[in-house]
Amino acid sequence: MRRKLAFLGGTLSSIGLLGVYITHRFMYLPKKGDDFIRSREAESTRLIEKDFDALPKVEALIPSPYGYDIKTIFVKPYPHQKFMVFSHGVTENKWNSIKYMNLFIKQGFNAVIYDHRRHGESGGKTTSYGYFEKNDLKAVVDELIRREGEDVFFGIHGESMGAATMLLYAGGVEDRADFYIADCPFSDFGEQLAYRMGIEVKMPARLLLPLVSGTLKLRQGYTLKDLSPISVVQNIQKPVLFIHSTNDDFILPQMTKDLFDKKQGPKELFLDFQGTHAQSYNDNPEQYEQVIQRFLHQFVLNEKDDVS
């Protein structure tokens, strides 16, 4: 009997350690270095240092509801109250948002770029793939409204995890922005995790999802079900542009297609970019800009031509 109990105890302990191991891997996913990202963007000319330095801007540390500061830069080359907020992907930081910021500055928008928790110059110990980040995004939006007034007109652009964060914010926290652009989001983190685990470590991932979800609940207070943009996207009333690269095999384009199908009201879908994950703009800059312009003129600017 004691041997059976010892065996059972050892088995349960091993299962528990497996849950900790899996959650630890994605909660503490290694980040790219800040200097590396800035140098990469500068070398590719997506960031031109002298042009960025010349832009009028104010840096701010915005308090997160979770007790750390969110590093944010408000860039305001125009006197009007028309803004874009940029939500970057996992392992990246605000310097990765510069290329999108430049695109929208050309369209007459001011900009807000910031670092997610545990990225760049922001605080926070873990990455939560949208759970905590969605309320940090709300804190950034609240600060934008505090600075510019309740009538500020703004959109939000998100890439990868940043796009999922944006959708969780818009569908589950507040649909406060005037429009959204979701570039290569996952539709459900549990599904994405199962897909990547099956490829990378050849594990029976779907059988492990309940274990992972339960471990997350114990460690961080949320479950995999809380990381499901597709469960809340139908709540978003404002226009959404969904973008994905055809060749993306990290987050499959079908996830964006599923989100588009579930979204109600004004929306647009464009899947015809080339490139790997989160490379739609990098590999197709002119086409990307054309898709953005078409969406803005169809769903946003025609009704807001008087915003200035």
* Domain ranges (residues) in the chain: 1-30+205-224, 31-188+227-303
Beta bridge partners of 156: 85, 180
- How far apart CA 81 and CA 106 sit, in angstroms, is 15
What letter would DSSP give residue 234? G
What angle is formed at CA 70 by the lines to CA 35 and CA 171, rounded to 5 degrees?
Answer: 115
Which CATH architecture group holds 31-188+227-303?
Answer: 3-Layer(aba) Sandwich (3.40)
What letter would DSSP give residue 134? H
Residues in the chain, total: 308
**For residue 67, which phi and psi values (nearest 5 degrees)?**
95, 10
**Cβ burial 127-160 (10 Å sphere, 16+ → b, else e):** bbbbbbbbbbbbbbbebbeeebeeebbbbbbbbb
Say if residues 26 and 194 touch (Cβ distance below 8 Å): no
pTM for this predicted structure = 0.93
Greatest alpha-carbon span in the chain = 79
The pLDDT of residue 244? 98
- How far apart CA 153 and CA 23 sit, in angstroms, is 38
Q: How far is CA 144 from CA 58, 70, 81, 203, 274, in A?
A: 12, 13, 10, 44, 34
- How far apart CA 183 and CA 241 sit, in angstroms, is 8
The pLDDT of residue 87? 98
The pLDDT of residue 199? 83
User: Residue holding tokens 């545990």?
Assistant: 118
User: What is the distance of C-alpha 29 from the center of its chain?
Assistant: 15
User: Residue holding tokens 């944010």?
Assistant: 72
Say if residues 89 and 161 touch (Cβ distance below 8 Å): yes
- How far apart CA 220 and CA 211 sit, in angstroms, is 14
Q: Where on the phi/psi map is residue 258: left (φ > 0), alpha (ψ -120 to 50), or beta?
A: alpha
Number of other residues whose CB lies within 10 A of the CB of residue 101? 23
The pLDDT of residue 12? 38
Q: What residues of the chain score a pLDDT lower than 70? A: 1-16, 202-204, 302-308
